[in-house]
Amino acid sequence: MTNKNSGSEEIQMFRDMVLRFLQQEILPHYDSWEKNHHTPREVWNTMGDAGMLLVDMPEKYGAAGASFAVCQMIQEEMCRLGLHGLATGYNIHANIVAPYILNIATEAQKDRWLPPMVSGEVVTALAMTEPGAGSDVANMRTSAVKEGDDYILNGSKTFITNGNMADMIIVCAKTDAKAGAKGISLFLVDTNLTGFSKGKPIEKLGQHSSDTAELFFENLRIPGDALLGEEGKGFVYLMQELPRERLGCAVQAIGHAQGALDLTIDYVSQRKAFGQSVGQFQNTRFKLAQCQTELELCRALLEKYMAKYNEQTMTVSDAAMLKLAATEMQLTMVNECLQLFGGYGYTEEYPISRFYRDARVQTIYAGSSEIMKEVIARGILGKV
């Protein structure tokens, strides 16, 4: 799936379209978005008009009905071209929120939200992380208390991708404060409702153009039909959908690492030092050989687990191993690549510096590397 020489006619057709779109509509403006720490809202409408959003959702909702592999390819190509911030927002909207709705929502909820998500009229986010909880989802404090047919939502979330621009957010909240993980429910929250507010955009080390927000809910009344799935089953749904999110992170890691490698190969082939190209030094050659090998190992692991995902046999541990391996490879590789640029790699003039910054968060969000190791260990040895 991820190999650029893939024989899949469908993937190649979509890849050609995606590359044309990114080169014409995104790349000419992306540097300014990064500089301004903001991507214009209308970009989502532009992506919708181009058929880039929710490509693997059913045609009856206005989507292309393409394969899951096509959705992953779009993220990979964005990251290969250095558009990691855009890919992260895309991943949340098209690769994470959309499957939650398709797999869990009622038909009425699907009809309401999926078509405008396809067109870009509605941008979405997923709000799990809280200031005091982080990866400890079971200890979240945001609450949703039943009042008649409605729920009253109170609490806050942080580090929410697409949070500032989102028109609808899947919010994780406690409907039973005493039940731990079994007391979590999910809600489709319209951000136009009274009681919803946002903090100022969160400034980050990298992915500057990516929209990241802190969200607040103060006595926000949401209708009962905004409940996603069954009350109290939110944690089950999270565990059901998280593997796809982590698979998406791995796809981004592989695309981004490939892009960094491409930049570095081009640079060391042209850069001269001591009378020869930097690419002729044994250290350079061995470093790039190692990078290529590690990248291909992760690509093979991705292909294995992509096949398992398509067969609905990919486990939580599988997804954790894939994310751990791919994102750690990504960090190591962009570091090695930047080193081969020397001092120029530390300047804004050379894109490798943005690759370096943008990669760092990949081993933190969607479950840190430490959490991934614990998930894998539980699969081997059980809980402590």
Catalytic residues: 245
Neighbouring-strand partners of residue 45: none
Q: What distance in Å separates the CA atoms of residue 113 and residue 95, rounded to the nearest whole number?
A: 15
H helix or E strand, kind and range, residue 356: helix 352-359
Q: Kindly report each contact of residues 344-350 with a partner whose C-beta sits within 8 Å and lies 24 or more positions away, as own/partner.
A: 350/263, 350/267
Distance (Å, rounded) from C-alpha 63 to C-alpha 106? 18
Bridge partners of 223? 150
Please identify which residue in the block is written with the tokens 């949401």: 222
Cα gap 30→37, rounded to integer Å: 10
Judged by phi (left if over 0) then psi (alpha if -120 to 50, else beta), residue 366 lies in: left
The β-bridge relationship of strands 212-223 and 196-198 is antiparallel
Exposed/middle/buried for 173, CB within 10 Å: 0-12, 13-18, 19+?
Answer: buried
Residue 334 parent element (H or E): helix 316-340
